[in-house]
Homo-oligomer: A and B are copies of this chain.
């Protein structure tokens, strides 16, 4: 029996059930009785209820991420852990890898730990096929599930998202307007967020009628840290006769691959090759010239995610999805 069953049988909203379980004062005695009657009738107190009633809560949140050593995810985990602790919650960290099966087993493992909520870090947890996302919906029947930079319409699932589509759309237009008519899109992920970025690039290119060949969309599938392999990918492409004077990369590491390609081939940056990265990470200062990159406001996203989760745990009605804007930070790899 879940909070949804209670809600249905008592004929009240889930938020109301939540408020009753939380002992909130702005519920009428009549409503409160309805809810407690259903709970008593079924003589069943699952963990979620016990937690809601303030019993037996571990004050612990499960953090699931595919790889905590990824630069971007590591930063997200750092912000999340600190903000949770400031709210009196512990973090159980679990690295799931990128396979659906290991994600499922990792998520189930966290559920058995009687955590109060679960945070899925990064957009790789959401799949195109609805049936592949059932493991998340199932988890959300037990505890609130928070998605960082991914979205899923399901009860008890909350999303905090950066507007990757618009960020990439605007960055692509910026590059086109600076004179680069053939920017390549260089990416390594087809995740929820990966698709939004790709769509932003496509929309900008199509608005200018510049998307002429599928060669302009380059999916790199090697290790996410292997900068030389990324450079080699571009060198091979150039050797095949594909012409590009700009690279828009789906993350800063991919952009460094483009930097390395430029250096190895004697191209001046940005005059011969303009480059834009994504995430505005410490890598932007690791190259020369400094890398222009899209800041997707990770700390703001994490802060908002924790605020939302705390609200949900307190039985407050919280927004199901929140979208923040990103911003292109210009350094030396883009023309004006």
With contact pairs A69-B77, A285-B227, A288-B260 given, residues A82 and B63 touching in the complex (Cβ less than 8 Å): no
Q: A285 to chain B: which residues have CB within 8 Å?
A: 225-228, 260
Q: How far is the CA of A78 from the CA of B65 in the complex (A)?
A: 10
Q: A282 to chain B: which residues have CB within 8 Å?
A: 225, 227, 253
With contact pairs A77-B69, A263-B288 given, residues A94 and B91 touching in the complex (Cβ less than 8 Å): yes
Q: A92 to chain B: which residues have CB within 8 Å?
A: 60, 90-93
Minimal beta-carbon separation of A107 from chain B (angstroms):
13
Report whether B69 and A95 are in contact in the complex, using a CB–CB cutoff of 8 Å: no
Q: A182 to chain B: which residues have CB within 8 Å?
A: none
Report whether B283 and A286 are in contact in the complex, using a CB–CB cutoff of 8 Å: yes
Report whether B90 and A91 are in contact in the complex, using a CB–CB cutoff of 8 Å: no
Partner of A68, one of B78, B225, B260, B264: B78
Query: Is residue A33 contacting chain B, with contact meaning CB distance below 8 A?
Result: no
Q: How many copies does the complex hold?
A: 2
Query: Is residue A100 contacting chain B, with contact meaning CB distance below 8 A?
Result: no
Query: Is residue A85 contacting chain B, with contact meaning CB distance below 8 A?
Result: yes
Minimal beta-carbon separation of A45 from chain B (angstroms):
21
Query: Is residue A113 contacting chain B, with contact meaning CB distance below 8 A?
Result: yes
Report whether A286 and B68 are in contact in the complex, using a CB–CB cutoff of 8 Å: no
Report whether A78 and B82 are in contact in the complex, using a CB–CB cutoff of 8 Å: no
Partner of A286, one of B85, B95, B287: B287
Report whether A69 and B63 are in contact in the complex, using a CB–CB cutoff of 8 Å: no
Query: Is residue A81 contacting chain B, with contact meaning CB distance below 8 A?
Result: yes
Query: Is residue A75 contacting chain B, with contact meaning CB distance below 8 A?
Result: yes
Query: Is residue A151 contacting chain B, with contact meaning CB distance below 8 A?
Result: no
Query: Is residue A39 contacting chain B, with contact meaning CB distance below 8 A?
Result: no
Query: Is residue A67 contacting chain B, with contact meaning CB distance below 8 A?
Result: yes
Closest B residue by C-beta to A82: B95
Q: Mark A57-92, 1 if CB is under 8 A from B, else 0.
A: 000100100011101001101100110010000111
Query: Is residue A148 contacting chain B, with contact meaning CB distance below 8 A?
Result: no
Query: Is residue A119 contacting chain B, with contact meaning CB distance below 8 A?
Result: no
Query: Is residue A256 contacting chain B, with contact meaning CB distance below 8 A?
Result: yes
Between A and B, 14 residue pairs with Cβ closer than 8 Å are: A63-B93, A68-B68, A68-B74, A69-B74, A81-B93, A81-B94, A81-B95, A82-B95, A92-B92, A228-B285, A228-B290, A256-B286, A260-B286, A287-B287
